[in-house]
C-alpha cells in the first residue's frame, strides 16, 4: 500500500513538474513584439491627481485617465548619482539605459563612459524604433535614447548622433544644433541628409513621408524647444496624439513584426516649471490622449504588447490644497483659462514694447475674458488693488523684474496673475524647479506585473530590457 501511495505521489509530482516546466516555457515565450514607453516629463503624483480630478469633476468623464486604468501601478524613485533632486538628463539616462549618472550628463556614466539605451539594444535585435516628444528631439529625455555626451547642451553633437543611430522615426519641435553660438550654420542638416534621414515639417507634410528614416519637426518658423501648448490652440502645428499616430503608422509600415516607441510629454514639464496649473492639467490630458493611441493598439494585440507609463521626475511640487482655500479647491476655475502663462507673458511684453497706451480697464477686461478673473474666479478688493499696483509698476514705471525659470522668463505681472488663479483654484507649489518626490508607474501587457513595486528609475529600464530579452 505504501509503495502504491508513493508511486501515486511520484506521478502527481511528475505531473506538477511537467506543468511547471510547460508554464516556464510558455512564460519564456511571452516576449512582447511591441513596446510602448511613455514618459510624462515632470509628471509627479500631484499633477496627475489634479488632472484626474479635472478630467472627472470638470470635464465630466465617467472613467479614469487611461493610464490610471492600467492593472499594474507602482512608484519610482528618481534621484541621480549627484543629487537627491535629479535633472532631466540624469533621469532620462536612467530611464533609457538603466544606469545612474550625474545631473547634466546624457547617455554616459559619471566618469563619461558611454552606456547603451534599450532603444539601441532593441534596434540591434531587429526592432523598429521611434523616439518622439512634444519638445526638442535633441532635449535630454529623447537624447538619452541615442546620444552619449558629457553635457546635455551639446546640441550639435547630439544631432550628429541622432543621424548615426539608425532609428526609423524621431520627432520633436526643432533642432538646436543647426547653428553655432555665433549663428553660423553647423552643417547638421546635411549630416542628417547624408545619413538618409528625410526631414518633414509640420502636419501638412506628414503625407509626404516616403523614407525608412524620418525626422518629423514642427512647422517652419516655430520655436525649436516646444511644439506649443494645447491650451493656446495654435493652428497648423504638431500635437502629441498626432505625433504618436504618425510614429505608430510609420513603424507598422517599416517594422511590422516588432517595434519600440518612446513618447515624451515634454510640455508637461515646461508648464510645471512655470507653475501654470491649468496649462499643465491640459497637457497631461493631452498626454493621456497619446496613451490612448497605444492602448487601442494594445487591445488589438494584447498578448504581444507592453505599455509602460512613468515620469522622469516631479516638477513644481504641485499639490491640491493651499492656505488660501484650505479644503475648498475649485479646479473648475481652470476651465476659464484660455491661454498659457507663457502666451500671456508674451502678450504683456508686447504691450511694453509697443507705443500703445494700455489702461488698467483694458487689462481687467482681458483678464476676465482669458482667465475668468473678476467674473467666475473671485478676486477680493485687496487682491485687485495689489494687481493694479503691480500693473502700474510693470507697464508704466517699468520697475519690476521678470520671473526666471528653466525654460522662460515671465513678465512680473503675468506671473502675479497666474499666482492669483492658482491660489483661487486651490493649487500650491514648492518650487519653480524639480523635486525629489517619487513618480508613478503604470503598466499593462506582457510582463507588466514586474512594475508593481517601489521601483528605482534605473530599474524600469532594466525590467523592460529583461522582459524583451528574457534575461
Q: What is the pLDDT of residue 10?
A: 36
pLDDT at 259: 98
Q: What is the pLDDT of residue 366?
A: 97
pLDDT for the residue numbered 357: 85
Output the pLDDT for position 99: 98
Instruction: Tell me if 229 sits within 8 A of 282, measured CB to CB.
Output: yes
Backbone phi and psi for residue 173, each to the nearest 5 degrees, phi listed first: -65, -55
Q: What mean pLDDT do residues 291-296 have?
A: 98
Q: What is the pLDDT of residue 401?
A: 82
- Per the listing, cell 549618472 goes with 101
Question: What DSSP letter does each residue of 89-102 carry, written as one string?
Answer: HHHHHHHHHS----
Mean per-residue pLDDT of the chain = 93
pLDDT at 20 over 50: no
Taking residues 280-301, report their average pLDDT.
98
All three cell numbers of 280: 499643465
Are 436 and 84 contacting, i.e. CB atoms less than 8 angstroms apart?
yes
**What's the rounded mean pLDDT across residues 338-359?**
92
Which tens digits make up the pLDDT trace of 366-422? 999 999 999 999 999 999 999 999 999 999 888 788 887 877 888 999 999 999 999
Is there a contact between 228 and 208 (Cβ–Cβ < 8 Å)?
A: no
* Neighbour-count burial of 333, counting CB atoms closer than 10 A to its CB (0-12 exposed, 13-18 middle, 19+ buried): buried
- Reading phi first (left if > 0) and then psi (alpha if -120 to 50, else beta), residue 158 is in alpha
- Top pLDDT among 4 and 332 is at 332
The sign of the torsion formed by the CA atoms of 423, 424, 427, 432 equals negative
Cell numbers linked to 258? 516588432
Is 217:243 a contact under the CB 8 Å cutoff? no
Contacts of residue 268, defined as CB under 8 A and 6 or more positions apart, other chains included, come to 40, 41, 42, 43, 47, 280, 283, 284, 287, 315
φ/ψ of 460, rounded to 5, equals -60, -50
pLDDT of the residue at 29: 54
Q: Cell 534599450: give the residue.
A: 118
Which residue spans within 282-411 are E strands per DSSP? 305-310, 314-315, 319-320, 403-404, 409-410
**Whole-model pTM over 0.85:** yes
Q: What was the pLDDT predicted at 400?
A: 81
The band of 346, judged by pLDDT with boundaries at 50, 70 and 90, is very high
Please, are residues 176 and 136 in contact by the beta-carbon 8 Å criterion?
A: yes
The C-alpha cell at 424 is 483661487
Name the pLDDT band for 18 (thresholds 50, 70, 90).
very low
Amino acid at each position: 500500500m505504501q509503495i502504491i501511495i508513493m508511486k501515486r505521489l511520484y506521478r502527481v509530482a511528475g505531473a506538477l513538474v511537467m506543468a511547471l516546466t510547460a508554464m516556464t516555457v510558455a512564460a519564456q515565450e511571452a516576449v512582447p513584439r511591441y513596446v510602448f514607453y511613455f514618459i510624462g516629463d515632470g509628471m509627479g503624483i500631484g499633477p496627475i491627481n489634479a488632472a484626474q480630478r479635472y478630467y472627472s469633476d470638470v470635464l465630466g468623464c465617467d472613467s479614469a485617465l487611461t493610464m490610471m486604468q492600467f492593472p499594474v501601478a507602482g512608484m519610482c524613485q528618481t534621484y541621480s548619482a549627484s543629487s537627491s533632486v535629479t535633472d532631466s538628463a540624469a533621469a532620462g539616462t536612467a530611464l533609457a539605459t538603466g544606469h545612474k549618472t550625474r545631473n547634466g550628463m546624457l547617455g554616459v556614466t559619471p566618469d563619461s563612459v558611454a552606456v547603451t539605451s534599450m532603444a539601441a539594444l532593441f534596434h540591434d535585435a531587429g526592432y523598429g524604433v521611434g523616439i518622439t516628444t512634444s519638445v526638442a528631439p535633441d532635449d535630454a529625455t529623447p537624447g538619452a535614447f541615442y546620444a552619449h555626451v558629457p553635457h546635455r547642451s551639446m546640441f550639435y553633437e547630439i544631432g550628429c548622433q541622432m543621424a548615426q543611430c539608425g532609428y526609423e522615426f524621431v520627432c520633436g519641435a526643432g533642432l538646436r544644433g543647426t547653428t553655432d553660438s555665433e549663428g553660423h550654420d553647423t552643417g547638421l542638416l546635411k549630416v542628417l541628409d547624408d545619413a538618409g534621414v528625410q526631414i518633414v515639417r509640420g502636419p501638412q507634410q506628414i503625407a509626404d513621408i516616403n523614407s525608412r528614416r524620418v525626422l518629423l519637426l514642427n512647422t517652419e518658423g516655430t520655436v525649436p524647444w516646444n511644439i506649443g501648448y494645447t491650451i493656446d490652440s495654435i493652428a497648423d502645428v504638431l500635437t502629441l496624439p498626432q505625433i504618436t499616430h504618425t510614429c505608430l503608422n510609420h513603424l507598422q509600415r517599416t517594422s511590422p513584426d516588432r517595434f519600440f516607441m518612446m513618447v515624451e510629454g515634454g510640455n508637461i514639464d515646461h508648464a510645471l516649471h512655470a507653475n501654470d496649473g491649468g496649462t499643465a492639467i491640459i497637457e497631461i490630458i493631452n498626454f493621456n490622449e497619446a496613451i490612448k493611441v497605444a492602448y487601442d493598439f494594445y487591445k488589438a494585440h494584447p498578448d504581444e504588447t507592453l505599455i509602460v507609463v512613468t515620469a522622469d521626475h516631479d516638477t513644481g511640487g504641485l499639490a491640491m490644497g493651499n492656505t488660501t482655500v484650505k479644503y475648498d479647491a475649485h479646479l473648475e476655475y481652470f476651465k476659464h483659462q484660455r491661454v498659457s502663462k507663457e502666451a500671456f507673458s508674451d502678450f504683456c511684453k508686447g504691450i511694453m514694447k509697443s507705443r500703445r497706451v494700455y489702461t488698467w480697464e483694458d487689462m481687467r477686461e482681458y483678464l476676465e475674458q482669458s482667465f475668468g478673473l473678476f467674473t467666475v474666479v473671485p478676486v477680493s478688493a485687496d487682491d485687485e488693488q495689489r494687481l493694479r499696483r503691480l500693473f502700474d509698476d510693470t507697464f508704466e514705471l517699468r520697475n519690476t523684474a521678470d520671473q526666471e525659470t528653466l525654460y522662460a522668463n515671465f513678465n512680473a505681472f503675468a506671473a502675479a496673475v497666474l499666482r492669483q488663479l492658482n491660489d483661487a483654484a486651490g493649487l500650491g507649489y514648492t518650487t519653480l524647479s524639480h523635486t525629489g518626490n517619487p513618480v508613478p508607474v503604470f503598466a499593462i501587457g506582457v510582463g507588466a506585473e514586474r512594475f508593481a513595486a517601489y521601483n528605482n528609475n534605473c530599474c524600469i529600464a532594466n525590467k523592460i530590457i529583461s522582459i524583451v530579452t528574457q534575461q
